Structure 1
Amino acid sequence: MSVRRHLFAAAAAGLIAFSANAKELRFNNPLPESRPETQELIQFAKDVEENSNGELSIRLFNGGSMTLENADLLRTLPKGVVDMSLLWANYLGRDAPALSAVLVQGSIGNVDELTAALPVVRDIFESEFDEWGVKTVGNLAIPMLYASVFCRDEPVRTLDDLRTKKLRVWTRDQVMTFTKLGVSAQIINQDEMYISMKTGVVDCALYPALYAHTASLQETAKYAAYLYPIAAGPYTLGMATTKWNALPEDEKAALTQAADALWERTNEYSSDYERELAAREKLGQQGVTFLEDFPEEDRALFLETVSETWKEITEEAGGKAPEYRERVLEALGRE
């Protein structure tokens, strides 16, 4: 069984039991409870409590229930508004453009490249977060994902077809790439994607089949076609540096040990493609017709355009962004 399939139904509400005398850390998790990453955070919280003999506990607030905007976390987390938070670099471009430009969606094409790049990416992330007064307690790896275009009413499996539709995406670099290709794309948060598809705000949504059920895409999309691979930088488990420094050494050790175990569980990609195919099959049983993949020439053009976007946003970000890109390219053997 894949390490990512450990589900903890008893903790489905995201509230971890703790003793009356335990110190409790509030953890902001913007991901919904249905996401595998949330289940991994539940295990992280259980490990922290076990490592500390019940003296330290994590209380998870899932699905954005703390109403903290992802884009604001570099402002709110260092101030101690919340004790800990899950952060994703691509959402932080307003305040830290160099950080959000380290990787863009589609810049890495396979698991071998991802494995080569991750040590460099993690090092860059940690140093950048340090400058914002955020301590990297640990990282949570994201699976190798495969982005498909899910459409509500009509089959779409070419860029020409897609140019006649309104497309939902989730990052600015995706908007830039699709715009270069003549596709109308807009950022819509996951929690708004269902209603946006249902009401026709967008005709199609870019999303991995593996996670489609977490956004109920099987209820709003009739067709889907694979477009490109997604290898992303990991999530960061962040804490205000001042809060971290104030913790006693045994509590730091309990958190670090649990974070190391979290990384070991999630930094494993051998079954990702099989899980993707299984997800497509299940979606097919639920009424989503998976079409043939986008044509090879369309996929090649898309990835070529992604490379242009990556270079453009690093130059736009300035500062250390071009240096970071060069470090990642060197790790990938693409100097």
Structure 2
Amino acid sequence: MSRLQPNRRQILAGLGATLAAPALVTRVNAAELTLRLHHFLPPVAPMHSKFFEPWAKELSDASNGAIEVQIFPAMQLGGKPPQLADQVRKGITDIAWALPTYTPGRFLVAETMGLPFMVTHAEETSVAVHQLMNEFGGDEFKGMQPLAFWSHDGGKLHMRDGPVRTAADLAGKKIRSPNAGMGDLLSSMGAEPVFFPVTEMVVGLSNGVIDGCCLPYEVVPPFKLQELTSYSCEAAPGARGLYANTNALLMNQRSYEALSDDLRAVIDAHSGIELSRRIGKTFDEFEAVGRGMVEKQGNEIVQIEAAEIAKWADAAQPIYAAWEAKLNDAGHDGAAILARANALLDGQA
């Protein structure tokens, strides 16, 4: 930390006065700068222990202890998951993990990667998401400083009472849908999509409100999904995954800009596209763990054949067309965004 200044404590003592929102940055005895990080999953979730806690330690180490990140899981600072982006923007928390799909129609470029079949594996797709946002995201997260964008692995259909091998198996089934695009696809194949945050899924499966859910394996451990379902149905190898939601790690813009140059450099060095790649790789590891738990439970893992997935992808064409029009209506070049998203997923720089 060669850029640390001898008068850091005097500089940081006045830092809070420069912020428009109260309590964005505070000083404590153990560190000169405390940032609060808010997210929606319980502390037993792999993302909490395998990424957020190590990342917080890395920021502390890189700043010689000047930065402390206090992590508040399970919405401990109040509110609901769809409010996390606004909590960052308003300064209720300094950093948050937000899902754009929880506020449909607001972050359209980011939501594009949540359309059906816009995912390969988490690491590759995370890099694609971040690059797409760099190229087309513009002011979509105005008032917030994006630190990383990432994707989980492709979603699977986890069912209570019977497997899904073809679209016919979905007829009449109530499925917790992860976003509107996937809900439209499920509806086109005869299912009844149900929408609520993942945190409410356990109750829905337990009381029979839903017959299944569409989620990646990485969600299995924190919610014991393997105990609530009996079949996990995944796209055959070589086919794109059913869906993947874009995730965003966001920091309050005023908080970020008010940092001293050296502390901002620490944040910058631990964010960006390489952080997105790292989180995606971590999610690929989470995926393997979750799948292993499903296997250990003795649940049946069903592969949906590539030819069947191709039929589903054809059924999704009207969804892409409608999304292109929606992007156009918002002032974007919808065709260019969709083409670039697919090119990035296909490995084109």
What TM-score does the superposition give when structure 1 sets the normalisation length?
A: 0.80
Residues 114 and 133 from structure 1, CA distance in 2 versus in 1: closer, same or farther, beyond 3 angstroms?
Answer: same
2:271 corresponds to: 259
Residues 325 and 252 from structure 1, CA distance in 2 versus in 1: closer, same or farther, beyond 3 angstroms?
Answer: same
Residues 321 and 172 from structure 1, CA distance in 2 versus in 1: closer, same or farther, beyond 3 angstroms?
Answer: farther
1:52 corresponds to: 63
Distance 2:91 2:187 in 1: 38
Deviation of 1:281 (Å): 4.2
Please say if residues 123 and 280 of structure 2, whose CA atoms lie closer than 8 Å, have aligned partners that are also in contact: no
2:16 corresponds to: none
Partner SS state of residue 47, structure 1: helix
Please say if residues 139 and 234 of structure 1, whose CA atoms lie closer than 8 Å, have aligned partners that are also in contact: no
Distance 1:27 1:278 in 2: 25
> What CA deviation, in whole Å up to 9, does each residue of 1:149-202 have, x standing for no partner?
222123333221211311112111111111122211111322111111110000
1:101 corresponds to: 112
Distance 2:213 2:187 in 1: 15
1:229 corresponds to: 241
Residues 200 and 148 from structure 1, CA distance in 2 versus in 1: closer, same or farther, beyond 3 angstroms?
Answer: same
1:168 corresponds to: 176
> What is the number of equivalent residue pairs in this alignment?
312
Partner SS state of residue 76, structure 2: coil
Deviation of 1:231 (Å): 6.5
Please say if residues 102 and 324 of structure 1, whose CA atoms lie closer than 8 Å, have aligned partners that are also in contact: no
Please show how residues 75-90 of structure 1 align to structure 2 within 5 Å. Answer: 75-90=86-101
Unaligned 5+ runs, structure 2: 1-27
Distance 2:135 2:78 in 1: 28
Letter in structure 1 aligned against 2:264? K
1:133 aligns with 2:146: no
Distance 1:275 1:24 in 2: 29
Distance 2:220 2:214 in 1: 10
Partner SS state of residue 128, structure 1: coil
1:114 aligns with 2:110: no
Deviation of 1:302 (Å): 1.7
Residues 240 and 177 from structure 1, CA distance in 2 versus in 1: closer, same or farther, beyond 3 angstroms?
Answer: same
Paired residue for 2:341, among 325, 328, 332? 328
1:293 corresponds to: 303
Please say if residues 49 and 55 of structure 1, whose CA atoms lie closer than 8 Å, have aligned partners that are also in contact: yes
Distance 1:216 1:204 in 2: 14
Letter in structure 2 aligned against 1:139? A
Paired residue for 2:160, among 136, 148, 152? 152
Residues 111 and 67 from structure 1, CA distance in 2 versus in 1: closer, same or farther, beyond 3 angstroms?
Answer: closer
Distance 1:52 1:328 in 2: 36
1:12 corresponds to: none
Distance 1:78 1:309 in 2: 31
1:217 aligns with 2:225: yes
> What CA deviation, in whole Å up to 9, does each residue of 1:100-157 have, x standing for no partner?
2354241244679737734532304752345x22112x215334x2422222123333
2:210 corresponds to: 202
